[in-house]
Amino acid sequence: MDVLAWLQSLGLEQYERAFRENDVDAQVLPRLTADDLISIGVTSVGHRRRLLDAIATLPGEASAALDSPVRAAPERRQLTVMFCDLVGSTALSARLDPEDLRGIIGAYHRCVTDFVEGCGGFVARYMGDGVLVYFGYPQAHEDDAERATRCGLALVDRVAQLNQAEELHARVGIATGLVVVGGEVVEHDVAGDTPNLAARLQALAEPDTVVIAASTRRLLGNLFEYRDLGEIELKGIAAPVPAWQVLCPSAVASRFEALRGSALTPLVGRDEEIDLLLRRWERAKSGDGQVVLICGEPGIGKSRITAELEGRLNAEPHIRLRYFCSPYHQDSALFPFVDQLGRVSGFAPDDPPAARLEKLEALLARATPPDEDVAFIVDLLSLPASGRHRLPNLGPQRKKELTLGALLRQLEGLAHEQPVVMVFEDGHWIDPTSRELLDLTIERIRSLPVLLIVTFRPEFQPPWTGQPQVTMLTLNRLDRHDQRALVAQTSGGRALPNDVVDQIVDRTDGVPLFIEELTKSVLESGVPLVGIPTTLHDSLMARLDRLASVRLVAQIGAAIGRQFPYVLVRAVSDLPEDELGAALARLVASELVFQRGTLSGAVYTFKHALVLDAAHGSLLRSTRQQLHAQIAEALEAHSPELMDSQPELFAQHYAEAGLVEKSIAY
């Protein structure tokens, strides 16, 4: 079987390189799982679903794991749990023939499943007209709370349209919290209060509404608009709990601003980077268009540095254009441009098409485009075409070319009026058509007073490097001095003990977001030694879940410590030597850990202490204790010389194992 031809038949030939570099041949292909696809770079949920559906139809040994329940060892996880219920099903059952009712319930279940899987969730159980859903298991995402909320809003809208003969309504409750999940049970029951809280909130919700708990609300920031329901009494829960009804996605386009707020602490440790951006701006203003590509891992400060630049330019005459790629619209052609045009035109959710058209025309008039260009942009925004806005009958390719040309000429018109700063955020989520337009834009602005800034994560490989107008800027982690300064900024003048500051610095590894969130967590809890902040938990677990097949090795390494030698992992792990070596190689390739030395004498180091904490914290207490006991015994067998030089190491592992007497002996 020709894997490339198979990809081309699906219209997904862009993954040919990823498949080739990861040795996915005809023998491996039928056994690929969702985790495998994520790990090789298939980040689009829609693309993964198309690939998995096609794999399931392959002849021979198709992967049985694709449609079977996930079976994994029990573990501690932060989950966002959604409970969805069909309102009034008892009345329906009294009125309808059982066969008709069965059809309605079946359509409802299919609707829920499609939306949940499309949002990256997991249907844990159907309970008549209720559905229990997990976001964060078996695959964690950095935005599980947002995914659950978007899914809930979409469901209450869609269920109302399922059946023309019967008026159907759904209601949704959502809560986030720590649970124990997994094991050899089909339903994947979880132990913890979170599912019960989600179910109680669902029972409270009005038809066609979504109600969330405080734990979820905190993770969502201003991504949505809400109605505060106050503190409410819930059956089976001792104290009143605060709850919110989610109304709709908010008008805040920037994820950074929605999650972090508009009040920013002073920027720390990025003076050189800001100076570079200001120098490129000076060149751009003179007509020598510039492009700056800002690369960095999540939380390193890409959006923060663009916000700082925009603040520095407030007093200068210029036009600011902001475009935001979205993980939910990677299959929507030109989404960042459509979104930007609607936003700056001032579209309101309840605007009729005619009002939107009027607002768009007023916006476009600023750049004085020809009528034909306006017509293509009107069509792009799916607004009614009439009169001079009617398009000629064109093929899809020609229509796309002329639409891209119209958008480019709009930029040119603005640049002739004033210098332009274009900020294109989260390029790693760009859709293919926007990528084409960005290619054309980077070429066109060479002779325009335009500074284009594109931010993205390291997994995105920009094709524009090497061009004379393009500068690559990689954001590194903050040094220790700047880390301490950021702790002080975040604490807002509240002095923290030096040993607490040192702990924050040691655990956050120079990542500004980690520093800010851990500092806030310490301030809120009043306890120096705290766990992973809930705001970071999903992001950290998502990194581990992309390597689900080797997560156990990461957990063993985490139990050993920030650094863990191969010989000790080998002594504790039950994996055959070749499988262990392959697993460690995958961890290194993922950049979760670094390797020093060759395999038999290799020493591995976690890149981030908080990733170590996430891996270690996901183990059940009983499993963790057993593992620490094995590590202590392996140390005694393989490194007895450490008993005299590092007795505290043995004491620590025996203490973690719950073997107090042995710990005291050291």
pLDDT value for 421:
98
pLDDT at residue 97 above 60? yes
User: Domains in the chain, start-ordered, CATH in brackets?
Assistant: 3-66 (1.10.150.50), 72-256 (3.30.70.1230), 270-474 (3.40.50.300), 480-530 (no CATH), 538-665 (1.10.10)
The rounded distance, in Å, linking the Cα atoms of 509 and 556 is 21
Q: Mind listing the pLDDT tens digit for each residue in 191-208?
A: 899 999 999 999 999 999
Of 10-19, 178-187, 455-464, the one with minimum mean pLDDT is 178-187
The H or E element spanning position 403 is helix 396-417
Residues 6+ apart with CB under 8 A from 277: 292, 305, 309, 451, 453, 473
| Cβ atoms of 204 and 163 closer than 8 Å | no
- Of the ranges 381-390, 395-404, 535-544, which is most confident? 395-404
The rounded distance, in Å, linking the Cα atoms of 116 and 121 is 5
pLDDT at residue 62 above 60? no
Confidence label for 528 from pLDDT (cuts 50, 70 and 90): low
Cα dihedral: 403, 404, 408, 411 (round 10): 70
The rounded distance, in Å, linking the Cα atoms of 248 and 149 is 9
pLDDT at residue 68 above 50? no
Of 108-112, 389-393, 525-529, the one with minimum mean pLDDT is 525-529
Residue with structure tokens 């990689």? Answer: 474
pLDDT at residue 26 above 90? no
| Cβ atoms of 411 and 420 closer than 8 Å | yes
- pTM here is 0.82
pLDDT value for 65:
34
pLDDT at residue 245 above 90? yes
Confidence label for 427 from pLDDT (cuts 50, 70 and 90): very high
Q: Mind listing the pLDDT tens digit for each residue in 583-613?
A: 898 888 888 899 999 878 899 999 889 999 9
pLDDT at residue 63 above 60? no
Residues 6+ apart with CB under 8 A from 39: 546, 547, 586, 590
- The average confidence (pLDDT) of the chain is 88
Of 59-63, 291-295, 487-491, 529-533, the one with minimum mean pLDDT is 59-63
